[in-house]
Amino acid sequence: MSLIKSQLIQNITEANPHLFVRDVERIVNTIFSEITHSLAKGKRVELRGFGAFSVQHRKERVGRNPRTGESVNVEEKFIPRFKTGKDLRLKLNSEKNVSDNQQEENQD
């Protein structure tokens, strides 16, 4: 199951009933926009405890078309990367262990 932007906005609004949906939407869009602009400038974006966004440069190279085997030039490009923070990794792994244990108990 995926969490899409509109659901994120709805969840934040429900958790903060004093905020209007349009204000939360503006805040979320601004955050995404700032992250995007910083990455476009080659900057690293670090959200402590959550993770860090960065951009990796891939040089131009010669690749192969898998269908025909023909050599093709693959242009240089910039790839966004995300590295999870320690707090997020710990939270995900502790919740995974809890859900795994619950599934095992339900199978018994």
For 56-87, write each residue's pLDDT tens digit. Answer: 999 999 999 999 999 999 999 999 999 999 99
Measure the CA–CA gap between 53 and 31, rounded to whole angstroms: 13
- pTM for the whole structure: 0.73
Identify which of 53, 71, 54 has the alpha carbon closest to the alpha carbon of residue 62.
71
Q: Which two tokens stand for residue 68?
A: 């025909």
Identify which of 83, 78, 85 has the alpha carbon closest to the alpha carbon of residue 41.
78
Tens of pLDDT, residues 5-32: 999 999 999 999 999 999 999 999 999 9
